[in-house]
Structure 1
Amino acid sequence: MKIVTGHSDAADNGAGGSLFQFSASMIAPQCDAGQGTAGTFVAREFELDAVPSSATLRISALGLYRAYINGQRIGDDLLTPGWTCYDDRIAYQTYDIANALRPGGNRIEIWLGDGWYRSQLMWALNPVFNCWGDRTAAIAEISADGKALLKTDERWTSGFTPVTRNGIYFGEDFDARIRPQDTSGVEILAFDKQLLVPHETKAVKELTERAPVDQWVEADGRTVYDFGQNAGAYVRLRLKGEAGATVRVEHSEVLGPDRFFDNRNYRSARAELSYTLAGEGEEVYAPIFTFMGFRYARLTITGQAELVGIAMVPISSVPVAAGGFTSGVDAVNKLVENTIWSQRSNFIEIPTDCPQRDERLGWTGDAQVFAGTACWLADSGSFLKKFLRDVMHDQRPDGAVPHFSPDPTRLHPIDGRGDWAGSTGWGDAIVIIPWQLYLHYGDVSVLEECFPAMLRWLDYLWGISDGPIIRPPAVWGDHGFTFGDWLQPVGDNRKPRPTVADDCAATLYHFISTELTAKIAGILGKKSDASRLDGRAQEIRSAFKNEFFSPSGRIAHNDQTSWALAFLYGLVPAEYEEAGRAYFRRVSEETDGVIGTGFIGTPALLPALTRLGMLDLAEKMFLNRKVPGWLYQVERGATSIWERWDALAEDGTIYDPDMNSYNHYAYGAVCQWLFEDVAGIKPLEDKPGFEEIAFDPAILPTLSPVSAWHDTRFGRIEAGWSLEGSNVTCRLSLPEGVTARLKGSDDRKQLTADGKVVEPAQELKLGQGEHTITFTI
């Protein structure tokens, strides 16, 4: 069968949709030899007297699938059926296939890949193969004009595809000389069809292709292509040559000194493509069952073959931007763009930490600190809601929330490493992500769905040390172990700067989640839970004061993370606030603008400084070009967000390739501050989903002019401001259905809104339309 690579229109596979009751069977190819072996297909030929006016294919698989009817690819979705905890639920997709059918003989083929279902997950020291099963299989039904036409059953055949090996980390080998032929039968697998649900979010799609911006030939003859952007993607090749000639494609994120091609940070992920030509004119190839994280591709051609064209094809579950931010500082604008690319690259079915190495896991800590930013930059509602269902399924019987989800270690524990669940800051995703979805989309259902899991998590936290103060063990994997402020920089190792201790970090998050869950209980009308949890939050607050504050008002570790989180979440006692402000300012000034926070402290740092009125410090730390700092990586040529502040030295040397990703969105969480504090568009918990906002821009002079936009369920909100001398002019555009609160304040002199004076104690509400606000600073 000749494969045609054109696309067909697919039905909307977004969240929701009615549940279809499959009568088909889950069938596995008898010729399948297991994980890491030649790819297989299942097929069936059928007759039609005439083309029906409507025809629908409903389809899913164990592993990954791609379907063809009469040689035409069905739909343009990627990596279907997607990734979930497959022992909890598996998505199915629905496609309109009428334009692929013809009178007379027809043939459907479903190609199968190992995917997340059975190819390697996790790193080389603790690899997991066949995580959810060792057989790939497909289930499908075709209906025409409302009547059942065809379904997978024992009459289907099977055979081998040109995909000779594939895996998420492995990459893909493809031999175009192989033509699918029916060689075997199928086996009906025992399968619980109640697991099948409509795809809960938008499918992964291709973005616009990117041509190389540069290329060069290495001394040994291999050609390296620079696509100018680090992305979750694959390459599409156009080739001519003799049958049997091969092209090998390697990938990397960065180059070492002297343009040295370096992908050591991929660790055990082979992340390569190998294509063998059929020798039949121009051939086009892009992988079917994998993707990579890369900026550079290196090609090795063996035999008589010519590269006609090459392009990078980025892919994502969130390909459409929902927000944008620009300022008068080009490096800041690039930082926002880099964050968008890191979100796209890592929002591929689940929110992963990175798209390149032998990991690509749904780390809950990364997701919770980034959730707010994710909702600003893309429509992330159904995507994160789907992820939360996996998190809840992976939640342990004792209430511990997994470090990542879907979690291979739940089914395949790692000897000697304890349970990979229960870290504060990570497990709190079960509270914080639903809260962000509520703020951004007004989604009460996600609060209701996750509330029981929140309660179990809070009981787990309290039980770690049997009380409000959490005292985590130091040993990785022990009950209550915490990552703390992961990758918190310490500066000069001869005289390191202070860092938050595990007990302080854990107790801070214990309070944050308890207080939030109390609010959520109130929203859900669960009065007794709200009262009980509010009492528990006050108990944690009191214990935190006694444990971590000295009589002079100094917090125990006097570090930026402790102060930022304590101030942002109201844990600095009123009697210590003045002293605390002085300590916080000093510990921030002592670094000369350098950041001293890691994964959990960084998203809180600038919001805390801003809301305390320390705009000079917030501006200095944000615009710092030294390491650690956001703009350091921009000036080193980053096109996405790095995992580590010091991922590349100034001379281009790679730091610690054993744990170093150049496409990690966590530190991009600063974009939430840009939208909410700098642009001043604050969603409100009493009017969620942007029904009402607070307009309260923080004027950082160097950033002028600032402009931001965000697409809400009501339409687009636009805001911006510019500074001339001490005069600020703001513009605010609101769609129908959105109002904005504007409060007068003593530090904004001569405040006017649309020409009307606003007194310091006054609050004004602005409605649909264009508004001009002016004041002096």
Structure 2
Amino acid sequence: MSNLSTISRAAFTIALLFSFVTNALAQKISVKDLTVEHLVNPFSIDNAHPRFSWKLVSNIKNTTQKSYEIKLGSTEKATSWSSKESSDQSVLIEYSGDELKSKTTYYWQVRVTDNHGNTSAWSPIQHFKTGLKPEDWSAKWITVEGNDTSFASPLIRKEIDLKKKVLSATAYITAKGLYEASINGQKISNHYFAPGWTSYKNHIQYQVYDLSKSIKTGANVIGVALGDGWFKGRIGFDHKKHLYGDTRALLFQLEIQYTDGSKEIINSDDSWRSAFGPIRSSNIYDGETYDARAEMPGWNIVGYKETTSWKPVRIIARGSERLVGMSGPPVTKHEEFKAVKIFKTPKGETVVDFGQNLVGWVMVRAKGPAGTKITLKHAEVLDKAGNFYTTNLRSAKQENNYILKDNVEQVFEPHFSFQGFRYIKIDGYPGELKLENLTAVALYSDMKPTGKFTTSNTLINQLQHNIEWGQKGNFVDVPTDCPQRDERLGWTGDAQAFYNTAAYNMDVSGFFTKWMKDVSADQLPNGSVPFVVPNVISERDAGSAGWADVATIIPWDMYVSYGDKGILDAQYNSMKKWVDYVSSVAKDNLWNTGFHFGDWLFYRPNDDNDGRAAVTDKYMIAQTFYAHSTQLLLNAARVLGKNDDVKKYEELLEKIKSAYIREYMTVTGKLVSNTQTAYVLALQFDMMPENLRQQAAERLVANVRDYGNHLTTGFLGTPYLCHVLSRFGHDDVAYDLLMQESYPSWLYPVKMGATTIWERWDGIKPDGSFQTADMNSFNHYAYGAIGDWMYKNVVGIIPVAAEPGYKEILITPKPGGKLTSASGELETVYGLVKSSWIIQDGTFKLDVIVPANSKATVVMPKTGKKEQIGSGSYHFESKY
């Protein structure tokens, strides 16, 4: 009997497996990775016409979508809107039904048919929740009793008693400052630094959390800690504090639906209580002090007995700023690093090396007598003698202090501050400090990795690693210039220079959608754009070429990389205002007024007496970016069908280029600034007549050779340098620059042990000394813009602007630099694109993957042979 049972079970298993395989084979097309507004099952969609995206999965080559059908409803089974279209579009399909209700969950599915006659099953049900309208807010802003003058972080609590069984519970939370919220003693999410940094005077984000599994019938406790953050704490230059306000405040609205159909709303109001807890001070630049002796055990759980230190909260008036849902990813924890080494410096200090320059904090495990103070200071590098070096932090302390309670082992980490570091100096640790007592944690915006790039050259691979970690460290809610010193600002020039590289490495669609709203919000009434966004410097500090042009460059590049026509629509007025501002200050179509950073941090030789100085005329640079922004505005106008603007800006562009030629170029094509950046920008932005461009490229090559195959470009010339060389047939020169190992070059910092991109080409000089201390960041992504060229040329993955978002792809690898292999891949909005090659026995072998619903043109190196292909996996070979 047992043998028969065994046989029966085996037969059943085989039948089940056969059924599964049969169904899988029958299901020749399916959909995956469904998103709404670039987000997976988002919880606060403010867009009245949200856009849906999906990817096709097919094992048949040359598959495209023939039609799609979407259905949407307010329950999983209901359908209140459907759309069936004969279309190959699967990215950002706009909802076109009746107005959606606020704070409502909607469910949606999609199925597709392909060009082979196959129809997919309906996708798994997805959902999104609409945000609150202004009139939906019933909560009050609350803060501490009296004036908010304490350095300590307030704790705010509310005990609630629910009489019925809870079906669902949704919390809407924001703060002036930063908040960390809990329900019944448990942190409600893995988010940090909420509500995020925006142009607070214009809009503050709120977050939405599903607390259905956290709230229970009976007693519950809401607990919230507040921090200074960017709102109240020191930010920007000149030790500015209280830039947006001097009062930290909480806005909390909990909406509960019971199983009997009734509802209840619990708001922040004057019934809540507050006290100051163990976070004695917290500041973005200076760090945090936490005194475990001041802890209030149980303050955020049921049954806590409030002491006399707990006071009533105070209601404050609602400001003029708008409350908006999140459109970008939250900051979350990511990689952890164990301590690599603990050592004594020549000065006798105890220093710990984590092996990687990162942004986040160190978790410390400690136990000792009450009052013991552990101090962690953070640094990126050691000096020439091997000592802990913090001079480049300027006034930022980057210091966390932990004061122990009596002989209880605890794990400490900050709440409302973060540090940029590879090394820590630790003082006051009780007993023997061991490697396992310390863990470094990276924090950055929760962006999905999308790109991979590797070659046969280990130095280039380390360069790619450094580029990625420069991005991680500086994409902490806003694209900052640096993450360690007393700055950490959203410099617009850095962001636009690096955008294309960023979009290869990670999915930055939501990240930049959010930040571009702040670019528009902080744009001055006259159309000028600040140096930093959010703008915490001065309204006078605006309008620098290559910085303010972020208003046009990133929207257009987002359109190309994600196929997002909506970003052009949303930013079009901002783009137009910026170009019109420049036109208003230009004289005879020449932009030769105002302050400009120019080619920031270009190569400055110590003694350049033969006239080869790399100084490029700043107004000459400004004119090229004036043309570039006008061209991008013109592109956007064409995409959006704004025909009147197309004609207007076509005429303007012609005048701008004519003025450039009159002012900055001789009749033979020589430029008034004989620098790499001058020729790079002139060629990149098509400023010269076509018949003079090749000779200009030859002048550029001569300049590079004259500097011994070294670059001399700064923040504005560097992103385009190798692109221009490749465009005009000088891949060999581009590779010579990429492979250059001596200063100035991309690989010089790698050879010096860098694990991120430096602010300066020679942040650490060959003799081990430092560049100027007041501006010498070792985590500064701008020069990492070479990553864009590496993806587009080494492995040859290029989006085609006419069919954006990699709907159409150009695969055109260009081997060089003695590389014998390279591989790159990118998870696009249509799916995975891959280009991987190896040179073996005189043969170039290329493997390509094209996602379903896309097509590609493959161009083989040397032979130039082209082949158009649809989706699928392919192998190509040619003599090399």
**Residue equivalent to 2:558:** 437
CA-to-partner distance for each residue in 1:574-629, whole Å, 9 max, x for gaps? 23234323212211110111111000100110000011111111111111011110
Residue pair 1:365, 1:427 contacting (<8 A) in 2 also: yes
Aligned equivalents of 1:218 and 1:31: distance in 2?
48
Q: What is the correspondence of 1:632-671 to structure 2 with a 5 Å cutoff? A: 632-671=748-787
1:247 aligned residue (374, 387, 410): 374
TM-score under structure 2 length normalisation:
0.81
Distance 1:579 1:585 in 2: 10
1:200 equivalent to 2:327? Answer yes
Q: Residue in 1 aligned with 2:246?
A: 134
**Displacement after TM superposition at 1:22 (Å):** 1.8
Q: C-alpha separation between the residues in 2 aligned to 1:443 and 1:712?
A: 12
1:228 partnered with 2:355: yes
Residue type of the partner of 1:621?
Answer: L
Q: Which of the numbers 220, 232, 235 marks the counterpart of 1:118?
A: 232
- Structure 1 residues 319, 447: closer, same or farther in 2, change over 3 A? closer
Give, in angstroms, the shift of residue 143 of structure 1: 2.0
Task: Report the CA distance shift for 1:131/1:194 in structure 2 as closer, same or farther (over 3 A).
Answer: closer
Aligned to 1:457: 578
> Which 10-residue stretch deviates more, 493-502 or 70-79?
493-502
1:458-477 alignment, distance < 5 Å: 458-472=579-593
Q: 1:688 to 1:82 in 2, by over 3 A?
A: same
Equivalence for 1:3: none
Paired residue type of 1:165: S
Q: Return the alpha-carbon distance in structure 2 between the equivalents of residues 288 and 765 of structure 1.
A: 53
Query: What is the one-letter code of the residue matched to 2:791?
Result: F
Matches within 5 A, 1:710-729: 710-724=826-840, 727-729=843-845
The answer to whether the 8 A contact 1:355-1:663 is kept is yes
- Deviations 1:13-33, CA, capped at 9 Å, x for gaps: 587552222210010111664
- The one-letter code sitting in structure 2 at the alignment partner of 1:309 is N
Within a 5 Å distance, the mapping from 1:274-673 to structure 2 comes to 274-301=401-428, 309-410=437-538, 419-472=540-593, 480-495=594-609, 497-673=613-789
How far apart, CA to CA, are the structure 2 residues paired with 1:94 and 1:380? Answer: 21
Q: Match of 1:770? A: 873
Structure 1: state its 5+ residue gaps.
1-9, 414-418, 473-479, 752-757
Distance 1:578 1:207, change over 3 A: closer
Cα contact 1:603–1:667 (8 A) shared by 2 = yes
Question: Do the aligned partners of 2:447 and 2:507 also contact (CA within 8 Å) in 1?
Answer: no
Matches within 5 A, 1:159-238: 159-180=275-296, 183-192=310-319, 195-218=322-345, 222-238=349-365
Aligned residue type for 1:468: N
Is residue 706 from structure 1 mapped to residue 816 from structure 2 by the alignment?
no
The alpha-carbon deviation at position 403 of structure 1 amounts to 0.4
Alpha carbons of structure 1 residues 311 and 173: separation in structure 2 relative to 1, 3 Å = same
How far is 1:208 from its partner?
2.3
Contact 2:373–2:404 (CA<8 Å) still a contact in 1? yes
Identify which of 839, 857, 865 aligns with 1:741: 857
The 3 A distance-change label for structure 1 pair 726 and 587 is: farther
Residue number in structure 2 paired with 1:754: none
Task: Work out whether residues 31 and 158 of structure 1, in 8 Å CA contact, stay in contact via their aligned partners in 2.
Answer: no
* Deviation at residue 393 of structure 1 after TM alignment: 1.1
Q: Deviations over 1:271-314 (max 9, x none)?
A: 11000112252101110001011110111016679676111110
Deviations 1:98-132 (A, max 9, x none): 34334433221110000000111113xx2321011
What amino acid is aligned across from residue 397 of structure 1 in structure 2? Answer: P
Does the 8 Å contact 1:11/1:96 carry over to 2?
no
Pick the aligned partner of 1:18 from 105, 110, 130.
130
Residue 618 of structure 1 aligns with an amino acid whose one-letter code is A
Work out whether residues 44 and 208 of structure 2, in 8 Å CA contact, stay in contact via their aligned partners in 1.
no
AA at the equivalent of 1:488: F
> Does the aligned pair in 2 maintain the 1:15–1:202 contact within 8 Å?
no
Partner secondary structure for residue 584 of structure 1:
helix
CA contact (8 A) 1:564 1:608 kept: yes
User: 1:40–1:112: 8 Å Cα contact kept in structure 2?
Assistant: yes
Give TM-score scaled by structure 1 length: 0.92
* Post-superposition offset of 1:56: 2.0
How many residues matched?
A: 738
Q: What is residue 151 of structure 2 aligned with on the other side?
A: 37
Whole-angstrom distance in 2 between the partners of 1:504 and 1:629? 25
Counterpart AA for 1:138: L
Report the RMSD for the aligned CA atoms in angstroms. 2.0
- Superposition deviation, residue 743 in structure 1: 5.1
Cα separation, 1, equivalents of 2:697 and 2:154: 64
Deviation (angstroms), 1:219:
6.3
Corresponding residue SS for 1:649? coil
The whole-number CA distance in structure 1 between the counterparts of 2:851 and 2:312 is: 59
Contact kept? 1:66, 1:110, Cα under 8 Å: yes
Letter of the aligned partner of 2:486 in structure 1? D
Note the residue ranges of structure 2 that are not aligned, 5 or more in a row: 1-39, 47-128, 297-306
**Structure 1 residue corresponding to 2:143, chosen from 16, 21, 28:** 28
The 5 Å alignment of 1:81-160 reads: 81-123=195-237, 126-145=238-257, 147-160=263-276
The one-letter code sitting in structure 2 at the alignment partner of 1:693 is I
Counterpart Cα distance in 2 of 1:39 and 1:359: 23
1:695 corresponds to 2:811: yes
1:12 Cα deviation from its structure 2 partner: 4.7
Pick from 763, 774, 796: which aligns with 1:680?
A: 796
Name the CA distance, whole Å, in 1 between partners of 2:430 and 2:390: 25
Distance of 1:12 and 1:67 partners within structure 2: 20
Q: Select the structure of larger CA radius of gyration.
A: 2
Q: Cα deviations across residues 632-666 of structure 1 (Å, max 9, x unaligned)?
A: 00010000000000100112212111111000000
Cα deviations across residues 42-86 of structure 1 (Å, max 9, x unaligned)? 211111346624222211100000012222111110101110011
Quick check: 1:207–1:319 contact (8 Å CA) kept in 2? no
CA distance in 2, matches of 1:161, 1:208: 29
Provide the rounded CA distance (Å) in 2 between the counterparts of 1:573 and 1:542: 10
Distance change in 2, residues 1:355/1:578 (3 Å):
closer
Aligned residue identity for 1:533: Y
Distance 2:332 2:465 in 1: 19
Provide closer, same or farther for how the CA distance between residues 611 and 726 of structure 1 changes in structure 2, counting only shifts above 3 A: farther
CA 1:69–1:220: 2 relative to 1, 3 Å: farther
Residue type at the aligned position of 1:43: R
- Residue 387 of structure 2: aligned partner: 260
The Cα of 1:341 is off from its aligned counterpart by 0.6
